[in-house]
Amino acid sequence: MQIGPYQLNNQLIVAPMAGVTDQPFRNLCLRYGAALAVSEMMLANPDIWDTDKSRLRMAHSGEEGIRSVQIAGADPKEMAWAARYNVEQGAQIIDINMGCPAKKVNKKLAGSALLQSPALVKQILDAVVAAVDVPVTLKIRTGWDPEHRNGVQIAQIAEESGIASLAVHGRTRQCMYKGNAEYDTIKAIKQNVSIPVVANGDITTPEQARFVLDYTGADALMIGRGAQGRPWIFREIQHYLDTGNKLEPVGSAEKRQVMLEHLTKLYGLYGELKGVRIARKHIGWYLDQDEQRQFRADFNQLESAAEQCSMVERFFDECVLDN
């Protein structure tokens, strides 16, 4: 798939997820075969950019792939300014968030709340596209609620405004992350625009990836929650798309290596205190099985990097002994 001057080497993209797709996670997914990893959402309001959280999200040193930065907001001028600023900081693609269903974002009439106002959508898209010389992409949901699925209308506005590609999550804002994603709207969007369309939502297995591509006709897939604790899902999906066969499950030795590397990178980015806290959710995703509940409960009590790494080492040592 082509996004402006960038030819992606496959059809697999990492979805932007606040509090998840930081640089360590993005780089892991890229090494496991994702063609593009979009950064965490950054609000367009410059008043909050001086926080540690914003500075880390805007840091691109050490990025292993194309630098795609997602911005969110409801004011066209602020969004244009945020786009220019991030390009100056090294962003190669600007992604606009009109898909986030979170209340704290929607109450500012940003994220998926914008789908209620197609006229404002157009103003924002026009302003951002005009503000920068890099490709601008857009992420949306299928609509505000199941009775108002206006994804096709928004997609047509995006195409008219010069958006380079469009990612669509197969749920409305009202659906949040409940129920099953629906792909009929994504299929209709693909049939009504000529820009690349990326399908997103409930893509957690190679078989589902194949089905969604075939059913929607989408140009690519965007994978979010399915990659949490499973950065290798991109390798698994690509192998299945290429061969029709499934890879063997990731072995303990590889999982151990990945988890320890991930921990080290988190400590390096955030510092030990914050890194230890952020590591808890990631390790929980890696080991998200009933028989490992006690491990996660104990891990979440640890307060140092050394203790966390040591506990992961012991866990896998015991797995070897048990086998």
Indicate the helix (H) or strand (E) that contains 315: helix 305-322
Among this protein's residues, is 309 annotated catalytic?
Answer: no
In the chain, DSSP assigns E strands to 2-3, 6-7, 12-14, 36-43, 68-72, 93-98, 136-141, 165-169, 197-200, 220-223
- Specify binding-site residues for FMN: 16-18, 70, 139, 200-202, 224-225
- Positive or negative, the CA dihedral 262, 176, 46, 86 is positive
Q: Residue 154 and residue 110: Cα distance in Å, rounded?
A: 15
Q: Which two tokens mark 75?
A: 């004011």
* Closest alpha carbon to 209 in 249, 239, 168, 248: 239
- Cβ(100)–Cβ(112) under 8 Å? yes
- Strands 2-3, 6-7: pairing is antiparallel
Active-site hit among 100, 175, 309, 319: 100
Kindly provide the b/e burial profile for residues 22-54, where b requires at least 16 CB atoms within 10 angstroms of the residue's own CB. bbbbbbbbbbbbbbbbbbbbbbbbeeebeeeeb
Tell me which residue has tokens 């697999």: 12
**Distances in whole angstroms, Cα of residue 18 to Cα of each of 42, 80, 96:** 9, 21, 14
Nearest by Cα to 13 from 185, 171, 166, 224: 224
Enter the tokens of residue 313: 């080492």
In 10 A of CB 117, how many CB atoms?
Answer: 14
- Residues designated as active site: 100
